[in-house]
Structure 1
Amino acid sequence: MRLGGDAIALEKGAADHEPDPRFASAWTLAPSRRPDRPLLIAVHGSARDHLQTRDAFDNLATRRDIHVLAPLFPSDVTRLGYSDGYKFLREPGVDYAMLLESMVAAFRARFALGSQPAYLFGFSGGAQFALRYALVAAGKLSGAVIAAPGAVTLLDAELPWWPGVAGIEQALGRPVDAQGLKQLPVHLIIGANDSNQGLVARGPDHPDYSPFADVAGADRHQRLAALKESLDKSGLKPGFECLDGVGHELGPLAEAASNAIENWL
C-alpha cells in the first residue's frame, strides 16, 4: 500500500512502560490508523536516541502506512555505569526479550491494533539486540535488519554464548528458534567508512566478557562478514549492503533498511 497526495502529518507519542517505568517507548502511528497495518520495531544504539531512531523511519511510515515502535532501554538500570544489558538480552532481574514483547503488547492494546506482521531494525548496540532477539524469537518476526553491530553472535553451536550459541538456553531461558529462522528474511547493513566509532572492548571484569569476543574479527566489517558467512552456512541467505561514503550513521542505514523492509512488504 502506498499513500499519495499531500504531505501527511504523522501522529507520534511517547510514554513510560507502565508495567516497569524504568523503561519507555515512542511511536509513530500508521497514517491510516488501521489496526491491521504492519509494525516496525526500531531499536536505538548506545546513544539511547530512541526518538531519532523512531523518526528515521518517518518516510517509510508515510510511504507504506506502517506503525513504528521505538523502545528506550536506558543505561544504569541495575548497576551504575552498566549500559550493555539490552545488547545481550539479559542483566540481573531484566529479561529484555520479554520486556520488548511486553512493550509490543502494550502498544497494540493502547491503539487497539491487531497481531499484524512485525519487522525489527537495530542500529549499532541495537543491532546486537536485534540479532540476538531474532535468534531466539524469529517466529515472532517477519523480517530483521541488522545495521552496524559492534559485536555479533554466530550460529555456531560449538562456540560458547555470546560469541556463539552454545549455552544460549541456559543464558537466556530460550533456545535458538531454528524453525523460525528458516522463514525469517534477514538484511545486514554497514557503512563503508564505519571506522569503529564506539566499538567496545570488554575486559575480564566486565559482566559480558568473553575470551572469544574477537573470534568474528577485529572490526565491524570483519564481524558483519563473519555473521553473513555463519548465516549463509545455516541456509538463511541474508541480504548484505555496504554503503559507499557512509560511516557509523543512523540516517543512511535507516534509509537502506527502509528499502529492504519495503521490498519485504
Structure 2
Amino acid sequence: MDNYKFIKFHDIRFDMVLLSMIDDVALRYSIIKEKFLMHGFSGGGQFAHRFFYLHPDRLLGVSIGSPGRITYLDTSKAWFNGIADFEEQFGRPININKLKKVPVQMVVGSKDIEYLSDYSPYGDNRIERLKSLRNNFEENGIHVQYDEVAGAAHEGFKILPPVKNFFISILQNE
C-alpha cells in the first residue's frame, strides 16, 4: 500500500509506472508529455521529491507537500534516508545541476506538528523535517519556495492555494 512512496518495491518501479500512465494519456488525448508539474501531499510528497531526484528533466516544477519520511541529499546515508547508494539502487547518479533548474516548492500547514514516531535526526514533525529538507536543498544550490499555510494541520486541501499560485507562476513564465 505504501511502497510507491519509496519509488521501488522488488522489481516494481513506481516512477516508471507513472511515466507509462502519462504516455498512455498522451496517446489518447494528444497532450504534451515531455514535461509536467507535480504536486504530492503526505505520502505523495514523499513520492514527489524522490521522483524529482530521478527525473528532474521531466518536471516543469515540483511541489513537495508535508512529507513525513524524507530522503535528504546526504551522501553519508543509504537510500531512503540519504543518497549514498542512489546509483546502485537506480542505475544512475543524481544530477544536482539538473535539480537546480527545476522550480521547487515545499509546503506544509503551520499546525502540522503531530509527532512522527519514526526517529529522524532532522525533526520530530513534518514542519521540522521539511525545513531541514529545504536547508539541505539550498546547501546544494537548489532554490526552494517554502510556504507554511497558516492554520492548516495535516490537511491536503488547505495547502492547495499556494500550490496553485506556484504552478500558475511557472506556467506564466513558460
What TM-score does the superposition give when structure 1 sets the normalisation length?
0.61
CA drift of 1:252 comes to 1.6
Q: Is the 8 A contact 1:152 1:216 kept in 2?
A: no
Alignment of 1:127 with 2:45, yes or no, is: yes
CA drift of 1:200 comes to 5.9
Alignment of 1:192 with 2:98, yes or no, is: no
SS at match of 1:214: coil
Alignment of 1:234 with 2:152, yes or no, is: no
| Aligned twin of 2:72 | 154
The one-letter code matched in structure 1 to 2:137 is L
The one-letter code matched in structure 2 to 1:115 is K
SS at match of 2:157: helix
Q: Is the 8 A contact 1:137 1:177 kept in 2?
A: no
Higher helix proportion (structure 1 or 2): 2
2:16 to 76, 98, 103: 98
Q: Is the 8 A contact 1:123 1:148 kept in 2?
A: yes
| Aligned twin of 1:176 | 94
Distance 1:176 1:142 in 2: 18
SS at match of 2:74: coil
1:216 to 112, 122, 146: 122
Alignment of 1:260 with 2:166, yes or no, is: yes
The one-letter code matched in structure 1 to 2:37 is Y
Gaps of 5+ in 2: none
Query: What are the superposed Cα offsets for residues 219-264 of structure 1, whole Å, 9 maximum, x if unpaired?
Result: 1111001000000101112000111111111112122211111111
Q: Is the 8 A contact 2:87 2:94 kept in 1?
A: yes
Q: Is the 8 A contact 1:89 1:172 kept in 2?
A: no
Q: Is the 8 A contact 1:139 1:179 kept in 2?
A: no
SS at match of 1:169: helix
The one-letter code matched in structure 1 to 2:30 is A
Distance 1:99 1:169, change over 3 A: same
1:137 to 55, 59, 62: 55
2:154 to 233, 241, 248: 248
Gaps of 5+ in 1: 1-74, 76-83, 202-212
CA drift of 1:111 comes to 0.7
What TM-score does the superposition give when structure 2 sets the normalisation length?
0.92
Q: Is the 8 A contact 2:43 2:68 kept in 1?
A: yes
Larger Cα Rg: Structure 1 or Structure 2?
Answer: 1
SS at match of 1:126: helix
Distance 1:165 1:130, change over 3 A: same
The one-letter code matched in structure 1 to 2:17 is L
Distance 2:83 2:59 in 1: 20
1:10-89 alignment runs, 5 A limit? 75=1, 84-89=2-7
RMSD: 1.6
The one-letter code matched in structure 2 to 1:112 is S
CA drift of 1:160 comes to 1.8
